[in-house]
Chains A and B, each alone.
Chain A
Amino acid sequence: MATVAQTVPVRARSFFRNLRAGDQIAYLITFLFAASVVLVTTVLVFELWQKSELSIHRFGFAFLRTTTWDPVNDEFGALPFIYGTIVTSVLGLAISVPLGVGAAIFLSELAPPKTSNTLTFLVELLAAVPSVIFGLLAIFALVPLMRLYVQPALIKAFGWSPFFKGPTYGVGVLTASIVLAVMMFPYIISISREALIQVPREQREAALALGATRWEATWDAVVPFARLGIVGSIFLSLARALGETMAVTMVIGNDPRISASILAPGYTIASVIANEFTEATGDMHLSALVELGLVLFLITIILNGLGQLLLIVTAKPGTAR
């Protein structure tokens, strides 16, 4: 050691020591990897922007407002896809939220811990099922069911309104929404359950002491306390539903038209990208598809951000009022 210290100058020696200790090197290496994650994400956004520039320049904001999707004449308007994406996701939520929040209340408030954990485990396994499997089952099980029973029944009951009109194809907006609803269950249930479990005991006991029934205590004292967490879970599952590709593509009918009826076929952003991307030959067509991807990306990160924010706010004790 002494000979080394004599031959190298002071600065170099301290560097040499650090090198031996390795902390700086470990810092540097791990930092580089972490920075690469940031870099990749940045490049992703940049590439999406750059590849859609052609279409952004040509159509501007009209891209989001017009309804013509005509690859032959290079006329592209994204409204039918945006509409389809939003309608299927919101309808899916409308089905999923009551059931999911209800189940979360049962799991956190009523069920014995063992039952609760088992059921939660099963529901969370649902999140592991690949979306193409949901699509497979939906095509062969749900679509015939919709065509033969559900859609005729809906038309019979509500046929007077514009929302339940048209032929019964089986595929369509409602079918896609049902599939999305099932896919959203695990997210809504497990996050809402967490939020409900975190509600302090006193909150329940105070309500019960004031003479509330078990249901009143749950609904009026516990659920409002966990409100933000539940809303957060809704935002997060909405973001998932908007970006969902395979299951929706397989059952929505892939028809770029806006129709009021939820039984009619529709089209979503993710589906049109999945269907047309490999077949797109014109630059403008590709660019328009990438711009759709960019729109989808922006919508989902905004919703994700809002959802995370709500969860962070609720995680701090005493803020959920």
Chain B
Amino acid sequence: MLTLTGVCAVVTASALFLILGYLLWNGGKSLDWNFFTKLPLSPGDLGGGMANAIIGSAKIVALAALLGVPVGFISGVFLAEFSNKGMADFIRYTADLLNGVPSIVIGIFAWTIIVVPMRHFSAWAGGFALSLMVIPVTLRATEQFLTQVPLSLREGALALGASKWKSVATVVIPAARTGVLTGIILGVARVSGETAPLLFTALNNQFWSKGFNEPTASLPVMIYTHAISPYEDWHRQAWAAGLVLLGLVLVANIAARMVLARGAAAQRG
């Protein structure tokens, strides 16, 4: 029976390698320079790329981070430093609730409050939808790492005559910097692969989109539309896009975790 649990562990861990290997094999075959520089072509024409989707994804994710990270971070500071326990519990519960909302429902919400009043799809709506998913992750990470800062550090700052907010801003937050940053990177990396909230907020675009007010292409939505299309050459593009997207997400994840591990080791030693 014990060997059987080992088999379970190998099977589950190998899922990642199967995914990576298959994606590298198919994506590697399809990835070329055009992918990064050209626009998608209409079905039937061979070649083309997803330059607009790469830039579009960057725009939407940047927007999500700009909207979501400050709200999550400052709220996290409130929970860890200023709030009383009852209020902190309530807000934490709300954040968990927001975190648990299915991504497609987030999409509906962004559609009702941004797309409907504006009367068109836009990068704003997509960025707003994703920011709602960044907020709870950032909030929980900030709160968690701020509360881990030793009490003696705060007391030291207060004893030197600093006010509460000054000790938080100059002592506690810098002490928790690594952890909070890691949490934020992980949160942003997670939403950068989200498709469902973008389907009816940023929609998609075969061309460049100017500014933030037009329907905007993004890598995840491109992968979806290309993968379910019947065209061979579009499938090739989908593989290439999949490889690029997964590469970005995994690199961000591994880097963030390594930074965190090193920070923890430094604190212990």
Contact = CB atoms under 8 A, between A and B. Distances in A.
Interface of A: 21-23, 25-27, 29-31, 33-34, 36-38, 40-41, 43-44, 47-48, 51, 98-103, 105-107, 109-111, 119, 121-123, 125-126, 128-137, 139-141, 182, 185, 189, 214-215, 218-219, 239, 242-246, 250, 270, 273-274, 277-278, 289-290, 293-294, 296-297, 300-301, 304, 308
Nearest to B73: A33
A46 to B, nearest CB: 10
B208 to A, nearest CB: 21
A214 B2 contact: yes
A139 B227 contact: yes
B83 A34 contact: yes
- Give the one of B5, B6, B235 with max A CB within 10 A: B5
Given A31-B82, A126-B15, 6 more contacts: A23-B165, A33-B75, A99-B8, A135-B227, A137-B23, A215-B2
B68 to A, nearest CB: 10
B250 A128 contact: yes
Given A43-B113, A137-B22, A245 B102 contact: yes
A136 B101 contact: no
Contact of B109 (A48, A106, A125, A140): A48
Nearest to B1: A215
Interface in B1-58: 1-2, 4-9, 11-13, 15-17, 19, 22-23, 26
B22 A141 contact: yes
Given A38-B94, A43-B113, A297 B102 contact: yes
11 contacts: A21-B165, A26-B82, A44-B98, A44-B132, A102-B9, A123-B12, A123-B16, A128-B250, A129-B246, A214-B2, A277-B108
Contact of A293 (B108, B168, B192, B235): B108
Nearest to B235: A140
Contact of B105 (A135, A215, A243): A243
B104 A273 contact: yes
A270 B15 contact: no
Given A47-B109, A215-B1, A250 B228 contact: yes
Nearest to B222: A132
Contacts, number: 252
Contacts of B9: 102-103, 106-107, 111, 119
Contacts of B112: 47, 51, 290
Contacts of B109: 44, 47-48
Contact of B132 (A40, A110, A244): A40
A98 B97 CA distance: 28
A137 B19 contact: yes
A99 B22 CA distance: 22
Interface of B: 1-2, 4-9, 11-13, 15-17, 19, 22-23, 26, 70-72, 74-75, 77-79, 81-83, 90-91, 94-98, 100-109, 111-113, 132, 135-136, 139, 163-166, 168, 186, 189-190, 192-196, 199-200, 203, 220, 223-224, 227-228, 235, 238-239, 242, 245-246, 249-250, 253-254, 257
Nearest to B2: A215
A279 B249 CA distance: 31
Contact of B97 (A31, A100, A215, A301): A301
B94 to A, nearest CB: 5
Given A43-B113, A47-B113, A125-B16, A110 B166 contact: no
B163 A274 contact: no
B227 A250 contact: yes
